[in-house]
Structure 1
Amino acid sequence: MHSHTNVTLGDCTLAFDIDEQKYLFISPGISAVLGITAGQLNHDYRLWENLIDDKDIACTKKLINCLTENNPVELIYQIRTPQQTIKTINDKKSLFIDECSGHKILLSTIKEEPGNNKPAVAPKKLHQHENAGLSKQFLNSLIDSQTSFLIRIDINGNYIFANRQYFKAFGYKAKDILGKHFSTTTIPQEVSLCKKAFTKCVNNPGKIIPLLHKKPDACGNLHDTEWELISIVDENGQVCAVQGIGHDITNRLKTEAEIKKTSQKLDTFIESITDAFFIVDNDWKFVRVNAAFEKTTLKNRGQVLNKVIWDIFPSIVNTGFEQSFYKAKNNQQSIKFTEDFAGANRWFNVSVYPSAEGLTVFVKDITEKKHAQEEAISAKNSLEALINNTTDQIWSVDAESRYVYMNNAYIKQMAHLTGTAPKKGDRSYTHARLPRQVIDDWQTYYQRALKGEHYTIIRESVHNASNEQLFFEINFNPIYSSKGCIMGVGCFARDITRRLKAEQELLRQNKRMRNIATLSSHELRRPVASMLGLMNIIDMENPENPENRQIMDYLHIVSTEIDDVIRLIVDHTFTGDHTFTGD
């Protein structure tokens, strides 16, 4: 057991554990000799039987089944490789018992037999000592080539054997542990745990006892290890030792912990997202759903898990949902689509991701967003109709004076002025047909607004056809982004020519009224005062008084003056003639 002799194996050497029904060793020569790989043979340990020619298989299997320890056989048979090559094989087989595990090991040394085409033959005995030496050499080589730890502890708990991998992994020398109690390589906190496993193993011969514990190396570093312990019995059936096969699982546990941590994070994420989430397998059965799914569908996970999606939601059959799910699965391509849920007046954005195991689906309820979009479109259309049904000109420009929006009235006006209808993205008021002064003025107007100024101007122009003088009131307003930065200018222009004309007419009327008031207060007051004075001196008691005649003549003159003033007032009211004579 302590020999470390290296053996030189043949073209193809196989070691098969009959008890475990698995290969312990497959040499690299397998591909050259048998035309198959080690991976294929490990996956299907009976693969070699499929290669043997039909006429040889029965006899070959019979000879192998009759194989006994220390009685090797040499077989010659034909095979057909997966590459359809026919070969004659020389196969030396021997059977021995592994001292460590007690398992039966079938050792095969296989090589191609050039030019021979012989059927399987009866066993050919090799010398017993030759077979024993080969078995021991192979066993020692196999033990030392293992990546697993192999130890043996006597009935008193003392180390009697450890393989090369154990010493390499933990940094011990043979003299450090052989003959010493296993507690010397056990941390104090786990000595009791290891003793219980050892005692249980001794008391239950043939039963594999699992053990997980932290084992210190020679430098004091701890390794997480996993062991399978089994008792070894002597020829009298008495337990004489305990054998352990172990692995360093430190990295595996770290990986599993990371995987678990990642899985927990993923679980938390899946449960926290507002999108409904579910996974269906290749049989269309739910294997996972999240809380948002339960809320959206009003079904708890107990109602849907392991149930077929079409049975739970029959209303999505023959809809975009079913078509897209099948398309994603059949074509193995991700699909995103928007679909309404029949009869529920609800809209969903759906993302489907296929895998070898089924489909992963995210579903976002966009009903409110969809209604908001419809309302926004309706409002936009209504606003567009309102804006484009006015004769007022409305437009906006960005920070570089490029058109962002224009209503129909503005487009028509600019087409009339320049001969070309402006388009979104064109620079405003830079057309060659416009006078240079007009272009410069408008750039100045825009810059004022881009600096944050809200203001209004009145701009005069002349109608091209009628040569009529026109006046426009134009409002300039900065447009701010959501971050508070000025991103453009909104403009609103109204034709105020009629309003200005009405205002001027009112001014003229006011002036005429002032003239009338002046005439009334000056020209009319004097003759009226004279009339009142004359009437006061009339002799009413003596109508025949000769002075009354003279007074009446004066009254006639005064009446004529009053009539002239009234005519003058009328003329000023309707003709606007501001000239008059008077004192």
Structure 2
Amino acid sequence: MVQIKEIKELLPSFLKDSKNLLVSVLDLEGEVIHSNSKFREFFSLGSLARPFFFELFNEYQREEIEPLISELIGRPNDMVRYSQSHFNSLLSWEFSVMKNTEGDFLGILGVGSVKDESEYLSNELGYKVSVDSDIYFQMNNDWEIQFANTHAELFFGTSATGFINKKIWQVFPDPKIYEYALHFKKAKETDAITVIDGFLSESGRWYKIIIHPRICWMDIYFKDVSEVQLLGNELGRLDLTLDSILNNSDQSYILMSQDLRIMRFNDLASEQLRKYAGKDLKEGQKFLQFLLPGLEEKVLANLEEIIGGKKLSFEQSIYLVDSGEERFFRHDFYPITNLNKKVIGFVYSNKDIHDSYSAFAKMTEQNDMLKEILYSQSTVLRSPLSSILGLLELVDKKQLDRENQKYLSYLKVLAEDLDQIIRKNTKTVNESDSF
């Protein structure tokens, strides 16, 4: 009891109260006579427990660590370092002899730092792997399951007592285990972290399977990626649909990110830029570097409004750089928004309306000609016709014989009919939107 009291007094507070370091003091037989709360928490020990330190190591590691500690007792001024693998953690231990102020032996002080292997794996793989959220179990060199978390119990469909110490082939809940066995064996032989993708038909779930070979066992993680896989498949289908729409359109399209970098374009846009500007469209490049000839002034003048999410539409010619050939296009800029109406990108599209514009111009020209003809009919012809009608009124019928009176009556009726036709055409022109 006096010895433990001395140990507590001699241990610095940064070790006793450490939240990161595992601290233990062993007697000559290897019994843990004192430890801090981090040590007891890590090894799931009760506050009064005094286990034998070497029992916290697996059989292989125990054969290595016991001789090292024994040698240290004979060399009290030395320090021994040892790396212990414990489930999904790697512990770096430093052992030294602990003495009182008189130089008497008090015990072997062990200070260990913990490195989370799942954190190491996450850094190696580039995505998060976790014992807390993923299915996790360990197999020894005989392919027997030695440890499993609660997610693994749900995965295997039974409590851990139903599959611990049993070979993986006997208890795995899907026939695909024989396919995975080849990857397990290869990872063990090469001592390399291995990642494979798998679909388990029994559960209908997609998994990313991470195999992490260790000295005496193998860590296995099954990371459920069903939602990501389904989303990826859905996005793949959407991509195909979008490509089909873009490349079957009679308009050229360029899709941009929020910082105006080109994300996607259709074949028509690519061909158009090559033809009119002699450039090749490239994803990831700034859109402003690929403006069609003649659009620079218009786009730059309205750039703030475009970025602000306002739609911009205008008609403007594009000229071939080499020949100066002119084609008339309609240009549109409009924003892409998410479900929250936030602008996340932009679309530029244009359509060649040169032929329809020319046809419209020709139709306008013909329309003007018709207007002129109708104007002549209603104005130029009307004037002499009015004079004729006036003169007919002045003719003295009494001076005409019966035959000529008959012809005069015919002439007057015809002139009046012509007058009505001209009036009707004039009214039609004035009331029509066609001209």
The residue aligned with 1:556 is 411
Partners of 1:271 and 1:291 within 8 A in 2: no
The 3 A distance-change label for structure 1 pair 492 and 257 is: closer
Alignment of 1:113-124 (within 5 A): none
The 3 A distance-change label for structure 1 pair 450 and 485 is: same
Partners of 2:382 and 2:419 within 8 A in 1: no
Q: Distance in 1 between matches of 2:373 and 2:420?
A: 10
Counterpart of 1:415 (choices 266, 274, 279) is 274
State the identity %: 19
Counterpart of 2:301 (choices 444, 455, 459) is 444
Partners of 2:335 and 2:345 within 8 A in 1: yes
Which digits, 9 at most, give the CA deviation of each residue in 1:486-542, with x for residues without a partner?
A: 6654211122334445655676677788779878988789989x99xx9xxxxxxxx
The 3 A distance-change label for structure 1 pair 303 and 430 is: closer
Q: Distance in 2 between matches of 1:170 and 1:453?
A: 72
Q: Distance in 1 between matches of 2:325 and 2:267?
A: 23
The residue aligned with 1:328 is 187
Q: Distance in 2 between matches of 1:552 and 1:465?
A: 73
The residue aligned with 1:98 is none
Counterpart of 2:231 (choices 340, 364, 372) is 372
Which digits, 9 at most, give the CA deviation of each residue in 1:533-558, with x for residues without a partner?
A: x9xxxxxxxxxx97896365143244
Partners of 1:519 and 1:569 within 8 A in 2: no
> How high is the TM-score relative to the length of structure 2?
0.56
The 3 A distance-change label for structure 1 pair 326 and 445 is: same
Alignment of 1:29-428 (within 5 A): 249-251=33-35, 255-257=39-41, 259-260=43-44, 273-313=132-172, 315-319=175-179, 321-341=180-200, 346-397=205-256, 402-428=261-287
* SS of corresponding position for 1:315: coil
Partners of 1:524 and 1:562 within 8 A in 2: no
The 3 A distance-change label for structure 1 pair 382 and 400 is: closer
Partners of 1:315 and 1:342 within 8 A in 2: no
The 3 A distance-change label for structure 1 pair 169 and 342 is: closer
Gaps of at least 5 residues in structure 2 are: 10-24, 47-85, 90-117, 119-128, 393-399, 429-435
Q: Which amino acid in the other structure matches residue 213 of structure 2?
A: P
Q: Distance in 2 between matches of 1:379 and 1:477?
A: 21
Higher relative contact order (CA 8 A, sep 6+): 2
The 3 A distance-change label for structure 1 pair 283 and 461 is: closer
Which digits, 9 at most, give the CA deviation of each residue in 1:255-313, with x for residues without a partner?
A: 325643899xx9xx999944222222222222333333343444443432222111123
Partners of 2:4 and 2:34 within 8 A in 1: no
Q: Distance in 1 between matches of 2:354 and 2:321?
A: 15
Matched, 1:473 2:330: yes
> How high is the TM-score relative to the length of structure 1?
0.43
Q: Distance in 2 between matches of 1:565 and 1:512?
A: 23
Gaps of at least 5 residues in structure 1 are: 1-147, 150-164, 172-224, 228-244, 535-544, 574-583
The residue aligned with 2:316 is 459
* SS of corresponding position for 1:492: strand
Partners of 2:385 and 2:419 within 8 A in 1: no
Partners of 1:286 and 1:309 within 8 A in 2: yes
The 3 A distance-change label for structure 1 pair 553 and 304 is: same
C-alpha root-mean-square deviation of aligned residues, in Å?
A: 5.4
Q: Distance in 1 between matches of 2:199 and 2:4?
A: 64
Q: Distance in 1 between matches of 2:404 and 2:337?
A: 88
* SS of corresponding position for 2:186: helix
The 3 A distance-change label for structure 1 pair 251 and 482 is: farther
Q: Distance in 1 between matches of 2:5 and 2:347?
A: 84
* SS of corresponding position for 2:250: coil
Q: Which amino acid in the other structure matches residue 255 of structure 1?
A: F
The residue aligned with 1:493 is 350
Partners of 2:139 and 2:146 within 8 A in 1: yes
Q: Distance in 2 between matches of 1:404 and 1:483?
A: 21
The 3 A distance-change label for structure 1 pair 298 and 554 is: farther
Partners of 2:312 and 2:332 within 8 A in 1: yes
Partners of 1:527 and 1:562 within 8 A in 2: no
Q: Which amino acid in the other structure matches residue 316 of structure 1?
A: K
Which digits, 9 at most, give the CA deviation of each residue in 1:55-92, with x for residues without a partner?
A: xxxxxxxxxxxxxxxxxxxxxxxxxxxxxxxxxxxxxx
The 3 A distance-change label for structure 1 pair 441 and 168 is: closer
Partners of 1:462 and 1:468 within 8 A in 2: yes
* SS of corresponding position for 1:325: helix
Which digits, 9 at most, give the CA deviation of each residue in 1:221-264, with x for residues without a partner?
A: xxxx999xxxxxxxxxxxxxxxxx9x99343677325643899x
Q: Which amino acid in the other structure matches residue 348 of structure 2?
A: C
The 3 A distance-change label for structure 1 pair 281 and 249 is: same
Q: Which amino acid in the other structure matches residue 418 of structure 1?
A: A
Which digits, 9 at most, give the CA deviation of each residue in 1:100-152, with x for residues without a partner?
A: xxxxxxxxxxxxxxxxxxxxxxxxxxxxxxxxxxxxxxxxxxxxxxxx96xxx
